[in-house]
Structure 1
Amino acid sequence: MNNIYYISQGNSPKEHLENIKNVVESGVKLIQLRMKNVAQKIFLETAVEAKKICDSNNAQLIINDNVEVAKTINSYGLHIGKEDMKPLDARAILSEETIIGGTANTLEDCRFLATQKVNYIGLGPFRFTNTKKKLSPILGLEGYQQIISQLRKEGIELPVYAIGGITMNDFQELYTTGVHGIAVSGILSNKPVKEIKELIAS
């Protein structure tokens, strides 16, 4: 199966958990719980349940932009946005084993994240997406090719996940750019297990 990284979506904690459950039961192994503008208590409660779902399906849970929740539930990882704390500061709080990923939009962002000792880079957006409020310049296939090829020239071998408005039809072409995996949200959300399985097998 392709290296799919699911970013959770939902209008309520219940919807986030339902979507995560369906996606992991379909065989996806890397999940990010991404909840914006919710109380810390609700985020933590949802994260505890999400981790149970992931653990029972041998999937790995990454928490978006909330180092306290990641530490409390001992999640597999933490993903940090560009406007948030520096990955090295998060590393000082979390265990050495915790995977830390960072968001990048440019070659300079990727270089910075490499100095911050992240474990992977989420690079995007590939195209326009409604998921993000403030969208950075769109990269397209050419953008990924240029950035990844330059990183490799500089000896930066970090896994890069493509993100942002990606459809299943983009997968094959995106993998030719050298990305390690593909992060998706909308295309796997609010769908039954059978449909998700068909999508990720195609």
Structure 2
Amino acid sequence: MEKFYLVTGSVNLLKLLVPVGVKLVQLRIKDAPIDQLRQQITEAKLCCQQYGATLVLNDYWQLALELGIDFVHLGQEDLQNADFSALRRANIRFGLSTHDEAELELALSLTPAYVALGPVYPTKLKKMKWGPQGLHRVRLWKQIAGQTPLVAIGGITPQRVAGVLGMGADSVAVVTDIQLALDPVARCQEWLRAIKKVDYATI
């Protein structure tokens, strides 16, 4: 699994950063009209195809089936309604959010492509009932997840990436650190360099 996982709610930011070298990107759009959703998802799909990147669609598993998106991310609130049989028949992979042991157990029972743990550090992304999980939880989650890839998310910066990957995370998801950057392209390049350093350090 790619170690750097960009998460963005902007298709324009996606189209700006994928050409820089991002190979795994989640499109997380909230509260948009359905026609706009279809248009933006299609634009993201075409961009990722052009540059050989993997597109993950957040939440909208029905649109993934409709538009031929082969990877979705689902939160715990989506698990009751998602048609996992339909996703499997269409060979659509799915990643699942987890925050506590019960959620992790449920997620692993569905055989996901990855499980996500967050927030690892304090985050500006959204208000959550869970406080920062900390690096010790990253290590614990990986021990429990075993061969299932683990994505760490929440408050991670280039300076923290080596520690997070060192605890066993297979990938780090990045949202606000790039989204709020004065120069998202430069910040993305900094991230890619930081990931590359970790790769070399572990060879």
**TM-score higher than 0.5:** yes
Q: Aligned to 2:161, which of 171, 175, 197? A: 171
CA separation in 1, counterparts of 2:14 and 2:191? 16
2:179 aligned with 1:199: no
Name the amino acid aligned to 1:108. A
Aligned equivalent of 1:82: 76
Aligned equivalent of 1:124: 118
Q: Report deviation, 1:108.
A: 2.3
Q: 1:175 to 1:195 in 2, by over 3 A?
A: closer
Q: Report deviation, 1:146.
A: 2.1
Greater mean alpha carbon deviation, residues 168-177 or residues 34-43:
34-43
Q: Aligned to 2:173, which of 183, 187, 195? A: 183
Deviations 1:152-198 (A, max 9, x none): 3xxxx210000011111110000111111000012223635354223
Q: 1:116 to 1:38 in 2, by over 3 A?
A: same
CA separation in 1, counterparts of 2:186 and 2:141? 36
Q: Give yes or no for contact 2:59–2:75 (8 Å, CA) kept in 1.
A: yes
CA separation in 2, counterparts of 1:125 and 1:186? 12
Higher normalized contact order (CA 8 Å, seq sep 6+, divided by chain length): 1
2:121 aligned with 1:137: no
Q: Give yes or no for contact 1:103–1:123 (8 Å, CA) kept in 2.
A: yes
2:143 aligned with 1:159: no
Instruction: Tell me the number of residue pairs that the alignment of Structure 1 and Structure 2 aligns.
Output: 191
SS in 1 for 2:155: coil
CA separation in 1, counterparts of 2:187 and 2:93? 30
Q: 1:85 to 1:150 in 2, by over 3 A?
A: closer
Q: Give yes or no for contact 2:108–2:145 (8 Å, CA) kept in 1.
A: no
Stretches of structure 1 that go unaligned for 5 or more consecutive residues are 10-15
Q: Report deviation, 1:25.
A: 1.0
Q: What is the TM-score of this pair, normalised by structure 2?
A: 0.85
* Percentage of identical aligned residues: 25
- Alignment of structure 1 residues 1-202 onto 2, 5 Å: 3-9=3-9, 16-86=10-80, 89-94=82-87, 95-152=89-146, 157-189=147-179, 191-202=183-194
CA separation in 1, counterparts of 2:34 and 2:64? 12
Aligned structure 1 segments of 4 or more residues deviating by more than 6 angstroms: none
CA separation in 2, counterparts of 1:126 and 1:195? 20
Q: 1:195 to 1:163 in 2, by over 3 A?
A: closer
RMSD: 2.0
Greater mean alpha carbon deviation, residues 128-137 or residues 61-70:
128-137
Name the amino acid aligned to 1:45. Q
Q: Give yes or no for contact 2:124–2:176 (8 Å, CA) kept in 1.
A: no
Aligned equivalent of 1:13: none
